[in-house]
């Protein structure tokens, strides 16, 4: 039996099949520490949503790969206990490597209990991307682990991911890529980007309320891809919406987040009704956590107990994750 099954995790195959049938997207939330992980579990149990616990290579280094495995075990135990307390069903959890860039990293994650991995060869040539992705798929499938590949490049900075400009996914390449690699899902580039600074104000228009509105996602590319590979699981990265409420709290409490514009939530909901069955959200969590911590430390400058400012940060995250599940991704009630 694969290690992840012994831990109580699932891979993403059935998750995605059900999501495509139900016209929603499974949330993939990144975490780096205990409070983020606790918030994800609480929010998803309370909304009865499946969830993908997502770890980047940088987060894995930060948390320590051995400790991370036991954090995942603890998350499962916490989920089961919380579900029992509330009298609700348990929810499916997958542990996923986000933006793995080498075969060795993916192999290590699989051998330490991950149930899903992403191999991001998008910075290589098309041929090299196929070669690298196929190698990971062959090893992963031997262990019943699902694999996400990527075609196209997202601009922006988030953790270890850095790219100056976006390159949209070419629909004419997806059939060959999927067929030759055997991947289980495909991350595409249709206008999302990593980090809080997705769009500059000069790239946007202003609505009647004076709020910046970014260019619409390239749904035409998504629709072409859906025609090319019907029924195949599509993934969106860089899908944080950069909530202005959180940005304002940060800036009102000695922060300096300027000219930040994210992906409108109504566009993400539209995407979630398509073949997009996994949506990655990381920066929004970082923003709300930072906002809560900054506000607490400004209001209570003598506070030095981490529980007193990390606790409110955790609560802010719970509220945000529940909102995403219920109103953006449509995953609430789908566990």
DSSP structure class, residue 215 = P
User: Beta-carbon neighbour count of residue 203 at 10 Å?
Assistant: 11
CA neighbor of 123 nearest in space, from 98, 151, 160: 151
CA neighbor of 211 nearest in space, from 236, 163, 185, 244: 244
- The number of distinct structural domains making up the chain is 1
Q: Is residue 173 part of a domain?
A: yes
Say which CATH number the domain at 154 has: 3.20.20.70
Contact 313, 35 (CB under 8 A): yes
For residue 219, the number of C-alpha atoms closer than 13 Å in the C-beta half-sphere is 11
Please identify which of the residues 98, 101, 159, 184 carries the catalytic annotation. 98
Contact 133, 121 (CB under 8 A): yes
The per-residue pLDDT for 10 is: 98
- Per cent of the chain over pLDDT 70 is 96
Is the model's pLDDT at 199 over the cut of 80? no
Q: Which two tokens stand for residue 70?
A: 């036991």
Average pLDDT over residues 174-188: 98
Helix (H, G, I), strand (E, B) or coil at 153: strand
Helix (H, G, I), strand (E, B) or coil at 273: coil
Q: Is residue 150 part of a domain?
A: yes
Q: Is residue 5 part of a domain?
A: no
Confidence of residue 17 (pLDDT cuts 50, 70, 90): very high
How many Å apart are CA 171 and CA 79, to the nearest integer? Answer: 39
How many Å apart are CA 51 and CA 172, to the nearest integer? Answer: 31
Domain that holds residue 82: 12-329
User: Pairing mode, if any, of strands 156-158 and 51-56?
Assistant: unpaired
Q: Which of 182-191, 195-204, 262-271 has the lowest mean pLDDT?
A: 195-204
Q: Is residue 7 part of a domain?
A: no
The model's pLDDT over 72-120, given as tens digits with 9 standing for 90+, comes to 999 999 999 999 999 999 999 999 999 999 999 999 999 999 999 999 9
Contact 171, 224 (CB under 8 A): yes
Contact 35, 317 (CB under 8 A): yes
The per-residue pLDDT for 145 is: 98
* 244-252: long-range contacts, CB 8 A cutoff, minimum separation 24: 244/211, 245/291, 246/284, 246/287, 246/288, 246/290, 246/291, 247/287, 247/291, 249/291, 249/292, 249/294, 249/295, 250/287, 250/290, 250/291, 250/294, 252/295
Is the model's pLDDT at 204 over the cut of 90? no
Confidence of residue 187 (pLDDT cuts 50, 70, 90): very high
Q: Which two tokens stand for residue 86?
A: 């509330």
Q: Residue 45 CA to chain centroid, in angstroms?
A: 17
The per-residue pLDDT for 165 is: 61
Q: Is residue 254 part of a domain?
A: yes
Q: Is residue 299 part of a domain?
A: yes
Is the model's pLDDT at 57 over the cut of 70? yes
The per-residue pLDDT for 161 is: 56
The per-residue pLDDT for 221 is: 96
**Global pTM value:** 0.94
Backbone phi, psi, residue 70, to 5°: -75, -25
- Per cent of the chain over pLDDT 90 is 83
Average pLDDT over residues 44-55: 98
Q: Is residue 259 part of a domain?
A: yes
Q: Is residue 335 part of a domain?
A: no
User: Beta-carbon neighbour count of residue 294 at 10 Å?
Assistant: 19
Q: Where are the beta strands (DSSP E) in 64-171?
A: 93-100, 116-119, 146-151, 156-158, 161-163
Alpha carbon distances (Å) from 14 to 46, 184, 218, 226, 277 = 21, 11, 27, 19, 11
For the question of residue 98 being annotated catalytic, the response is yes
What value does the mean pLDDT of the chain take? 93
The per-residue pLDDT for 279 is: 98
Helix (H, G, I), strand (E, B) or coil at 122: coil
Q: Which residue has the tokens 């850095």?
A: 162
The model's pLDDT over 259-298, given as tens digits with 9 standing for 90+, comes to 888 999 999 999 999 999 999 999 999 999 999 999 999 9
């Amino acid at each position: 039996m694969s290690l992840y099954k012994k831990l109580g995790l699932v891979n993403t195959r059935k998750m995605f099949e059900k999501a495509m049938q139900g016209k929603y997207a499974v949330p993939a939330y990144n975490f780096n520490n205990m409070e983020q992980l606790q918030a994800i579990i609480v929010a998803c149990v309370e909304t009865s949503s499946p969830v993908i616990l997502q770890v980047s290579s940088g987060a894995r280094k930060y948390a320590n790969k051995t400790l991370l495995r036991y954090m995942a075990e603890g998350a499962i135990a916490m989920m089961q206990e919380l579900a029992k307390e509330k009298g609700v069903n348990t929810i499916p959890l997958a542990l996923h490597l986000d933006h793995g860039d080498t075969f060795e990293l993916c192999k290590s994650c699989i051998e330490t209990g991950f149930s899903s991995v992403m191999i991001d060869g998008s910075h290589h040539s098309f041929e090299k991307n196929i070669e690298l992705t196929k190698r990971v798929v062959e090893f992963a499938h031997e262990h019943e682990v699902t694999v996400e590949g990527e075609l196209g490049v997202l601009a922006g900075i988030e953790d270890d991911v850095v790219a100056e400009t976006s390159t949209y996914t070419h629909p004419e390449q997806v059939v060959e890529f999927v067929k030759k690699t055997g991947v289980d899902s495909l991350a595409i580039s249709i206008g999302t980007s990593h980090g809080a600074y997705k769009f500059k104000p000069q790239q946007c228009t202003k609505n009647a309320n004076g709020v910046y509105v970014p260019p619409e996602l390239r749904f035409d590319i998504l629709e072409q891809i859906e025609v090319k590979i019907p029924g195949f699981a599509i993934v969106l990265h860089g899908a944080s919406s950069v909530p202005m409420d959180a940005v304002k709290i940060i800036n009102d409490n000695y922060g300096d987040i300027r000219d930040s514009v994210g992906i409108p939530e109504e566009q993400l909901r539209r995407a979630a009704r398509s073949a997009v069955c996994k949506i990655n959200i990381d920066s929004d969590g970082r923003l709300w956590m930072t906002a809560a911590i900054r506000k607490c430390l400004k209001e209570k400058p003598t506070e030095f107990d981490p529980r007193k400012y990390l606790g409110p940060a955790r609560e802010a995250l719970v509220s945000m994750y529940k909102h995403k599940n219920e109103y953006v991704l449509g995953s609430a009630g789908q566990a």
